[in-house]
């Protein structure tokens, strides 16, 4: 370790240290044949052409567009196949339960997408919708009933909740064994602590890493900047990137001169929620950008009157970065497929099915 | 939020956002009169002369030596006073239990220091020492008995454990309500998640923040670099600094060119475990350095044949930094006082004593 750190200090080159745990890989990233996960002792096959990141790579004439659609499709197919195998073997299906409080346009849209995806792969779903003014006790009753229901393997409390309900208390009530969102502090703690394996990792960071790995972006030792620190995306992505041995800087609304820090990043993950806030002059040429923003902007030309855009000014960014996720069609579809994957994993654990 | 982030992007100045939770403060940092904790809406009193950090501050002709001894003494006095008050009111004392497996020179030295400190403030202690080859079940039995013992309010399993014992499993067995080390994943998760209050914060990061606050170092919006990511110090310090709204970058053995990143930091926290690895040319003039390293180096002039030194080359650093913790006498004494404080807090919770 001493020698290692001294080399690190003098030569300025990162080496793999046996004293560190290997990079974390989600169950779905390990078995890929066409996309082996990054393990320091298994260099990228020369048969592939990985996206080089940042200063250590070359700027491409055209940025690689990291579409999430084919990845989501692949994951869905594999989840569906596993569910069929489980059904054939033990006659059981995974079950996902969702709780909605009151009515929010966006929440209902998300729930609709989740229902559709579950239906595609064969996950049973149940939804309880409670009135806007429901009591905390009533919500806890519903969650508790799902906790004790053996045919429910995943529980989602759709956020945000109305002001009068304590989100923290509710999330604490979700059984960590059914916490497919990965927001329970026990799962978050096991995500933060290297060497530990959380039962569930939040879907957004899993999707981010999946995209990077599938598009063969080097993560180990790279300077990664995560803009935003929500538990849904930013915070958990920082923790997961660090498990993959990136050097992670987490930016937030107290950060001074964020653009200066972002400009030094090989990998930029944005979780801000403001359309086009990240401009091309914030990005290092050759950087890889994962845009987690899902922002609605008015668009009279759209039949719905609005369109979805990310945090990154896409038109500017593609001129300087080496790879970028589009919005829509980038992280979003993969996030949903990760929810299916988490629910399947939970059911397999519950039934001891391997 | 939009306007805020836009200001952030264009003006490059951090402003306090009402949408963010206020900085986290440990129970012991809040009540200070002579050292108010940093809250964005309460600017530092002009009556004080805070240590200015990094580029935004001025380099001092002489670095401020952030001694931990007076802070540790103050905390011990206040813990002792609280224990006396509790004893007088309800006739109870806090109890700390420690488990040691096998014999390690350093572990026994640490336990000795903890015992001495507990004795000074009036915390009852009990120690169980198990043989080097004890079984996991036996160790779990001991931890379980402490979990169920109402006169025990804090449990420490002295780390590292022998190879054949699974540290993770053992730490999971410590009741989160008695986890005064703060290593249980539930407490670590609540530390990572803003807005949540862990029952216990690990003592090293608490000591780091306490030192910064007492020496009036601005944390909010500052670029902080934490070198190392152990759960005992580095990882948990990164999480706590982020709760105080620093912009935190966590460096580790995979980091490329760490000195370049450290050189941009207003606040440098070192948790490497290698004597003098951080040299003066790694530090920005005016930076504030918290050295968490506790390294033994041979010293024929010392009666013990060795002396304790930090990770930072102190003689070099004091010429460029604005403030630095010495080793020994910096973080160390405060860490021990934080253990006393955590144990007192736990006893107060257990007895409902306020």
Helix (H, G, I), strand (E, B) or coil at B290: strand
For chain A, positions 6-25, list CB contacts with chain B under 8 A.
Answer: 6, 8-9, 12-17, 19-20
Mutate to test the interface with B, among A183, A194, A233, A254 (most CBs of B within 10 A): A254
B296 close to A (CB below 8 A): no
Q: What is the pLDDT of residue B38?
A: 35
Give me the average pLDDT of each 10-residue run along chain B (354 residues): 34 27 35 31 35 51 92 98 98 98 92 97 97 97 98 97 96 98 97 94 98 97 97 95 98 96 98 96 97 94 93 97 98 98 98 97
Q: Is the pLDDT of residue A299 over 80?
A: yes
DSSP 8-state code for residue B42 = B
Contact between A299 and B30 under an 8 Å Cβ cutoff? The reply is no
User: Quick check: is A179 catalytic?
Assistant: no
Q: CA-to-CA distance for B218 and B19, rounded, in angstroms? A: 21
> What are the phi and psi torsion angles at A32 (to 5°)?
-55, 140
Q: Is the pLDDT of residue A111 over 90?
A: yes
Mutate to test the interface with A, among B253, B259, B262, B282 (most CBs of A within 10 A): B253
Q: Which fold has domain B201-332?
A: Rossmann fold (3.40.50)
Token pair 């608490």 in the structure block, residue: B206
Cβ neighbours of residue A194 closer than 8 Å, sequence gap 6 or more:
A20, A21, A242, A243, B229, B231, B235
A352 close to B (CB below 8 A): no
* C-alpha atoms less than 13 angstroms from C-alpha of B153 in its C-beta half-sphere: 23
Does B229 sit within 8 Å of A274, measured CB to CB?
A: no
Q: CA-to-CA distance for A262 and A268, rounded, in angstroms? A: 7
Q: CA-to-CA distance for B349 and B341, rounded, in angstroms? A: 12
For residue A248, the chain B residues in CB contact (below 8 A) are 249-250
For chain B, positions 149-188, list CB contacts with chain A under 8 A.
Answer: 168, 184-188
Q: CA-to-CA distance for B87 and B75, rounded, in angstroms? A: 18
DSSP 8-state code for residue A161 = P
For residue B247, the chain A residues in CB contact (below 8 A) are 249-252, 254-256, 261
Does B260 sit within 8 Å of A247, measured CB to CB?
A: no
Active site residues of B: 114, 158, 181
A2 close to B (CB below 8 A): yes
Does A247 sit within 8 Å of B250, measured CB to CB?
A: yes
Q: What is the pLDDT of residue A195?
A: 87
How far is the alpha carbon of B268 from chain A, nearest alpha carbon, in Å? 14
What confidence tier does A124 reach under pLDDT thresholds 50, 70, 90? Answer: very high
How long a stretch of residues is chain A? 354
- Can you list the pairs that A324-327 forms with residues at least 24 positions away whose Cβ atoms lie under 8 Å? A324/A63, A324/A64, A324/A65, A324/A66, A324/A288, A324/A289, A324/A290, A324/A291, A325/A65, A325/A66, A325/A67, A325/A68, A325/A211, A325/A289, A325/A290, A325/A291, A326/A65, A326/A66, A326/A67, A326/A291, A327/A291, A327/A293, A327/A294
| Residues B62-96 as b or e (16 or more Cβ within 10 Å = b) | ebbebbbeebbebbbebbbebbeebeeeeebbbbb
Domain B1-7+92-162: top CATH class: alpha beta
In the set A179, A181, A266, A345, the catalytic residue is A181
A43 close to B (CB below 8 A): no
For residue B261, the chain A residues in CB contact (below 8 A) are 223, 247
| Distance set, CA A280 to CA A262, A263, A268, A311, A315 (Å) | 11, 9, 12, 12, 9
**How confident is the prediction for chain A on average, in pLDDT?**
86
For residue A196, the chain B residues in CB contact (below 8 A) are 168, 185
* C-alpha atoms less than 13 angstroms from C-alpha of A32 in its C-beta half-sphere: 20
Q: Which stretch of A65-74, A131-140, A321-330, B34-43 has the lowest confidence by average pLDDT?
A: B34-43
Q: What is the mean pLDDT of residues A62-73?
A: 96
For residue A163, the chain B residues in CB contact (below 8 A) are none
Q: What is the pLDDT of residue A24?
A: 34
Our CA angle for A122, A125, A126, nearest 5°, is 165
Contact between A316 and A90 under an 8 Å Cβ cutoff? The reply is no
User: Which among B233, B277, B231 has a CA at the least distance from the CA of B255?
Assistant: B277
Task: Assess whether the previous peptide bond of B162 is cis (omega < 30° from 0).
Answer: no
Residue B47 CB neighbour total at 10 angstroms: 5
| Residues A30-61 as b or e (16 or more Cβ within 10 Å = b) | eeeeebbbbebeeeeeeeeeebbbbeebeebe
Q: What is the pLDDT of residues A241-263, one digit of tens each?
A: 999 999 999 999 999 999 999 99
Mutate to test the interface with B, among A252, A279, A310 (most CBs of B within 10 A): A252
Query: Which value does ipTM take for this structure?
Result: 0.83
Q: What is the pLDDT of residue B62?
A: 84
A89 close to B (CB below 8 A): no
Q: What is the pLDDT of residue A61?
A: 54
Mutate to test the interface with B, among A23, A188, A189 (most CBs of B within 10 A): A189
Contact between B4 and B17 under an 8 Å Cβ cutoff? The reply is yes
Does A274 sit within 8 Å of B6, measured CB to CB?
A: yes
Q: CA-to-CA distance for A192 and A189, rounded, in angstroms? A: 5
Does B274 sit within 8 Å of A1, measured CB to CB?
A: yes
Q: What is the mean pLDDT of residues A262-269?
A: 98
Mutate to test the interface with A, among B22, B55, B176, B254 (most CBs of A within 10 A): B254
Widest Cα–Cα separation across chain A? 63
User: Which among B264, B270, B267 has a CA at the least distance from the CA of B282?
Assistant: B264
Does B252 sit within 8 Å of A247, measured CB to CB?
A: yes
Contact between A79 and A117 under an 8 Å Cβ cutoff? The reply is no
Q: Which stretch of A33-42, A210-219, A344-353, B250-259 has the lowest confidence by average pLDDT?
A: A33-42
Does A190 sit within 8 Å of B192, measured CB to CB?
A: no
Q: What is the pLDDT of residue B54?
A: 54
Q: What is the pLDDT of residue B178?
A: 98
Where does CATH 3.40.50.10860 sit in chain B?
1-7+92-162
Closest in A9, A255, A273 to B14, CB measured: A255
* C-alpha atoms less than 13 angstroms from C-alpha of B169 in its C-beta half-sphere: 12
Q: What is the pLDDT of residue A134?
A: 97
Contact between A186 and A127 under an 8 Å Cβ cutoff? The reply is no
How far is the alpha carbon of A86 from chain B, nearest alpha carbon, in Å? 30
Q: What is the pLDDT of residue B52?
A: 57
Contact between B201 and B240 under an 8 Å Cβ cutoff? The reply is yes
- Relative to beta strand A223-227, strand A247-251 is parallel
Instruction: State both tokens at A235.
Output: 């915070």
Cβ neighbours of residue A265 closer than 8 Å, sequence gap 6 or more:
A54, A223, A224, A225, A249, A284, A287
Q: CA-to-CA distance for A314 and A299, rounded, in angstroms? A: 17
* C-alpha atoms less than 13 angstroms from C-alpha of A325 in its C-beta half-sphere: 36
Give Cα B327 to chain centroid, integer Å. Answer: 15
Strands (E) located in B240-316: 247-251, 267-270, 288-291, 295-298, 306-309
Where does CATH 3.40.50.720 sit in chain B?
201-332
For residue A276, the chain B residues in CB contact (below 8 A) are none
What confidence tier does A231 reach under pLDDT thresholds 50, 70, 90? Answer: confident
A250 close to B (CB below 8 A): yes
Q: What is the pLDDT of residue B193?
A: 95
Chain A to chain B, count of Cβ pairs less than 8 Å apart? 174
Cβ neighbours of residue A320 closer than 8 Å, sequence gap 6 or more:
A59, A63, A280, A283, A284, A285, A286, A287
Q: CA-to-CA distance for B50 and A177, rounded, in angstroms? A: 47
For residue B53, the chain A residues in CB contact (below 8 A) are none
Q: CA-to-CA distance for B127 and B97, rounded, in angstroms? A: 6
Q: What is the pLDDT of residue B170?
A: 97
Does A223 sit within 8 Å of B261, measured CB to CB?
A: yes
In the set A158, A179, A291, A311, the catalytic residue is A158
Closest in B245, B247, B258 to A249, CB measured: B247
Q: Which residue of A has its CA nearest to B266?
A: A256
Got the DSSP string for B152-205?
A: --EEEEPSSPPTTS-HHHHHHHS-GGG-TT--SHHHHHHHHSTT---S---HHH
Q: CA-to-CA distance for A321 and B326, rounded, in angstroms? A: 44
Contact between B255 and A8 under an 8 Å Cβ cutoff? The reply is yes
For residue B268, the chain A residues in CB contact (below 8 A) are none
């Amino acid at each position: 370790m001493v020698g290692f750190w001294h080399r690190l200090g003098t030569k300025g080159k990162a080496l793999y240290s046996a004293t560190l745990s290997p990079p974390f890989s989600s169950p779905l990233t390990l078995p890929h044949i066409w996309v082996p996960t990054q393990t320091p002792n298994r260099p990228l096959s020369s048969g592939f052409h990985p996206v080089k990141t940042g200063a250590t790579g070359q700027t491409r004439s055209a940025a690689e567009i990291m579409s999430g659609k084919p990845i989501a499709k692949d994951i869905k197919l594999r989840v569906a196949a596993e569910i069929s195998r489980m059904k054939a073997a033990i006659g059981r299906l995974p079950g996902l339960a969702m709780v909605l409080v009151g009515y929010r346009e966006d929440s209902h849209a998300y729930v609709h997408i989740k229902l559709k995806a579950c239906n595609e792969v064969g996950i049973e779903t149940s939804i309880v919708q409670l009135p806007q003014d429901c009591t905390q006790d009533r919500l806890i009753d519903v969650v508790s009933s799902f906790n004790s229901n053996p045919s429910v393997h995943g529980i989602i409390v759709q956020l945000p909740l109305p002001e009068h309900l304590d989100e923290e208390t509710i999330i604490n009530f979700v059984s960590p064994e059914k916490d497919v969102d990965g927001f329970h502090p026990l799962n978050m703690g096991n995500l933060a602590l290297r060497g530990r394996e959380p039962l569930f990792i939040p879907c957004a960071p899993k999707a981010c890493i999946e995209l990077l790995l599938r598009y063969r972006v080097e993560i180990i030792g790279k300077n990664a900047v995560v803009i935003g620190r929500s538990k849904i995306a930013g915070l958990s992505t920082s923790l997961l990137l660090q498990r993959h041995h990136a050097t992670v800087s987490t930016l937030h609304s107290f950060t001074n001169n964020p653009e200066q820090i972002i400009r030094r990043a090989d990998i930029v993950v944005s979780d801000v929620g403001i359309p086009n806030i990240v401009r091309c002059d914030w990005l290092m040429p050759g950087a890889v950008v994962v845009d987690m923003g899902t922002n609605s902007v008015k668009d009279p030309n759209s039949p719905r009157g609005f369109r979805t855009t990310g945090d990154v000014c896409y038109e500017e960014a593609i001129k300087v970065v080496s790879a970028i996720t589009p919005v829509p069609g980038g992280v979003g579809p993969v996030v949903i497929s990760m929810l299916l994957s988490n629910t399947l994993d939970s059911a397999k654990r519950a039934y001891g099915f391997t």
